[in-house]
Amino acid sequence: MTVLIASLVMLALFGINVPVAFAVTLATFVYFFISNDLSPVMVIQRMIGGADNVPLLAIPFFMMLGSILNYTGITQRLLKLSDLLSGHLRGGLAQTNVVLGALIGGPSGAGLADAAMICKVLVPEMVRNGYSKQFAAALTSASALLGPILPPGIGLIIYGFVSDTSIGKLFLGGMGPGVLLTFLLMVAVDWVAKRRGYKPVRTVKPNLKEVLLATKDAFWGLMLMVIILGGIRYGIFTPTEAGAVTVIYSLLVGFAYRETKWADVKAALAESARANGSIMLILMASAGFAWMLTWEGVASDVTTMMADFTTNPYVFLLVINIFLLVVGMFLDGNAAIIVLTPLLMPTVHMLGIDPVHFGITMIFNLSIGAITPPFGTTMFLTCNLTGVKIDEYMKEIIPFYLALLVALAATTYIPALSLILADLV
């Protein structure tokens, strides 16, 4: 009954638009105050304990990396490379949007940051070239989903910490689904461009010399993923250390390009501090709520319920996919990972599902929720930045939703897509 009351309080606070971190915190306090056998002091201990973990240091490092990239010239060089590689395709600028989302999505690790950056540097150019603002906003939000899935996505770090799964394996596990989603989004863009007559930016394919020159110019930006994945794969450093190394590396590249000033470093630090503060508040609040659910034995109850419902892992994954898609529409993805992972992992282990495969599937689902009404955070951000109404946005997102669902189905039912590279660690 106490868990039910706390959950209803949380849902009511969501309904009046209380920020996620404060809604979850207040619901957790309600539980501790109405429980006769628990001291209210414990809620503070559990929240602080949820943030007091070394693996979580990777989050501020990678958040800072995402902020720094915009001040180093790396993003602009990756944009030029993306335009060269995809500008000759039908719907050239739209294709560039997807390719850029893939190239910067990994290093930044956060879908909201990617969406904000692409809205700023590419959407105005798309509108000037005849693309509808609604189409540009929908495509940008879909491209931003590559950030949480490709390494080093923040959600991958949080899931690895909560589920005690190798973060290095999760980083590599996100590569296969990320590449597949990039391809499917480009197919969807081609289909829309053919129907609407969106033209290529370039009339001819780039020659080898142009590609080599653009790759050379963007080389130091492309090396970010090599450093992160290669360093983890060969045991040179941990994911947390990878975040620190790539921050220093990006700063050195920015100063070498002579495009980074000390004032830019200060601005990047302020941006990453604000973003990290928001995430850590959600982490701490969700840690207290997750402990409450564990203490009340909800995890074992969920396992028993699922075992009574089905022992078929494929049916379980289908049910969980539907459930997580709905949850992602209402709850921040990082908070949902912290609250739900401890509840679902016993069933995952019981059914013999690989935790890396399940983690990628879970994050994919919750990311789709972020571009879905009524409370999709990435959806709201792109619509606000572009001045697009939600109903207009929803009409344009349909082809990209189909691409996302196909990629999700492949990720869910073809475990090798996530595990081939992950098994190298």
* Helix, strand, or coil (residue 387): coil
| High-pLDDT (> 90) share of the chain, % | 17
pLDDT band at 111 (very low <50, low <70, confident <90, very high): low
pLDDT band at 108 (very low <50, low <70, confident <90, very high): low
CA 186, chain centre distance (Å): 19
Q: Residue 210 corresponds to which tokens in the numbers above?
A: 């142009």
pLDDT band at 166 (very low <50, low <70, confident <90, very high): confident
pLDDT band at 376 (very low <50, low <70, confident <90, very high): confident
Distances (CA, A) of 329 to 29, 49, 365: 25, 28, 10
Per-residue pLDDT, 371: 87
**What average pLDDT does the segment 217-221 reach?**
85
Please tell me the distance from the alpha carbon of residue 348 to that of residue 14, in angstroms, as a whole number: 29
**N-term to C-term CA, the chain:** 44
pTM: 0.83
Per-residue pLDDT, 401: 93
Please tell me the distance from the alpha carbon of residue 64 to that of residue 56, in angstroms, as a whole number: 14
Q: Is the pLDDT of residue 406 over 90?
A: yes
Please tell me the distance from the alpha carbon of residue 188 to that of residue 123, in angstroms, as a whole number: 18
Per-residue pLDDT, 240: 82
Q: Return phi, psi of residue 35, to 5°.
A: -85, 130
Per-residue pLDDT, 135: 92
pLDDT band at 414 (very low <50, low <70, confident <90, very high): very high
Q: Residue 281 corresponds to which tokens in the numbers above?
A: 């508040």
pLDDT band at 407 (very low <50, low <70, confident <90, very high): very high
Per-residue pLDDT, 403: 94
Q: Is the pLDDT of residue 107 over 60?
A: no
| Averaged pLDDT of the chain | 84
pLDDT band at 152 (very low <50, low <70, confident <90, very high): confident
| Higher local confidence (pLDDT), 338 or 96 | 96
Per-residue pLDDT, 188: 94
**pLDDT digits over 37-87, tens only?**
777 777 788 788 777 777 777 788 887 887 787 788 787 888 888 888 888
Nearest Cα residue to 95 out of 110, 106, 84: 84
Distances (CA, A) of 161 to 23, 64, 105, 143, 327: 23, 20, 21, 26, 21
Q: What is the sign, positive or negative, of the torsion defined by CA atoms of 110, 416, 371, 336?
A: negative
| High-pLDDT (> 70) share of the chain, % | 96
| Higher local confidence (pLDDT), 226 or 135 | 135
Q: Is the pLDDT of residue 370 over 60?
A: yes
**pLDDT digits over 234-244, tens only?**
778 888 888 88
Per-residue pLDDT, 277: 80
**pLDDT digits over 229-287, tens only?**
788 777 788 888 888 888 898 888 888 888 888 888 888 888 888 877 877 887 788 77
Per-residue pLDDT, 22: 84
Per-residue pLDDT, 380: 81
